[in-house]
Amino acid sequence: MTAKPVLSHVSLQRIALASGSPQEREDLFNQAMAYAPRSYVARSSYMRSLLPRWGGSYEKMEQFARESEAIYGPGDEATGLRNMIAADRAGKLIENKQYAQARAIASEALARRESTYLLCLRASANATLENLDDALTDLQRSLKNTGESDYCASIVVWIASFCSGDSRVEPILNAYILRNPGDGELYLRRGFERSIRGDTPGAVTDLEHAISLGNVNTKIHLGQVLINGFEGITRDQSRGVALLREAADSGDAYGKQILRQVVTQLGLEAEERDRHRGRKEAMKRMRPIKTTWDIQSAKSSWGVGRLTDHRVIASVLAALVMMGWLRRDKKKARCL
């Protein structure tokens, strides 16, 4: 336990979400409450464990919200817990394509208290209902808050694709890139926006950075640009094909489709066949080798023969194998 036992219990609660039982979560929560009965961090973590997806129910969440309100009284803490129920309900409604109902629930909760997550949920519903102006307004409002930005990042990218060229889009992307510097999709989307307003160098910088983050969609986009050319960008067929091959080799279905088209367009069928043949041969060489271990040598060296419990023997031999101390009988080794 650390010098901050409440935070330790909260961390254990979060671990218990994936591997613990409802009773274990409740026990951890009660232990945290013994240290700090008004801790919002502990209460919000426990509220999350009561979500239906973790075996709880909205009825249990409502009951816990009422119990917490009796501790806090009216205010942001009690409202924040209630809004967790509204956020999950709105998210479920969006999954079920009931966008108007989701927007109504999110709006009711936002009237009680601002929340980045709820704003992004409502923005998603608004965009689907083709209220793009309202969707962008919600995303702008979300910038005033912190937290829950990973989910919002994907919503921002999606909504921005419908609003290309709108003066509000790039500042929103800038803000979310600061919050999510490892999200390649945000850089790709900002690259599109920069290219629309004629900032080709800025667009290329964003696309290159997205590629450095391993973003497959950017590899497909820039690969096509380098092959076919674009104003202000020097054509580089060799690198363009290489980027498309990287995207296809990652398993991306669209990347494979575009690569096939480009291979036909550029007459690279023979080269591509040779590349696939080389990859298959390389994969064969990477297959594990079946070996026979000289167990007798290990027994005599380490005294394993004196052990009678097969579980102990297995544990010792496994440790020796892991450390590389068992000798391979190379004569009997063969490829699978």
pLDDT per residue as tens, the chain (336 positions): 445 666 676 676 677 666 778 888 888 888 888 888 899 989 999 999 999 998 899 999 999 999 999 999 999 999 999 999 999 999 999 999 999 999 999 999 999 999 999 999 999 999 999 999 999 999 999 998 765 556 789 999 999 999 999 999 999 999 999 999 999 999 999 999 999 999 999 999 999 999 999 999 999 999 999 999 887 888 999 999 999 999 999 999 999 999 999 999 999 999 999 998 988 888 887 766 544 444 444 444 444 444 344 444 444 444 444 444 434 443 333 333
Please state the pTM of the whole predicted model. Answer: 0.75
Tell me which residue range forms the domain holding 299.
Answer: 288-336
Within a domain: 311: yes
Sign of the CA dihedral with 288 first, then 289, 292, and 297 last: negative
Within a domain: 302: yes
Within a domain: 294: yes
Within a domain: 297: yes
Within a domain: 14: no
Report how far residue 231's alpha carbon sits from residue 228's, in angstroms, rounded to the nearest whole number: 10
Within a domain: 215: no
Q: Residue 148: CB partners within 8 Å, gap ≥ 6?
A: 115, 116, 117, 120
Within a domain: 139: no
Q: Residue 13: CB partners within 8 Å, gap ≥ 6?
A: 25, 28, 29, 32, 42, 45, 46, 49
Q: Residue 186: CB partners within 8 Å, gap ≥ 6?
A: 153, 156, 157, 173, 176, 177, 180
Q: How many independent structural domains does the chain possess?
A: 1
Within a domain: 313: yes
Under 8 Å between Cβ of 99 and 93: yes
DSSP string, 4-20: -HHHHHHHHHHHHHHHS
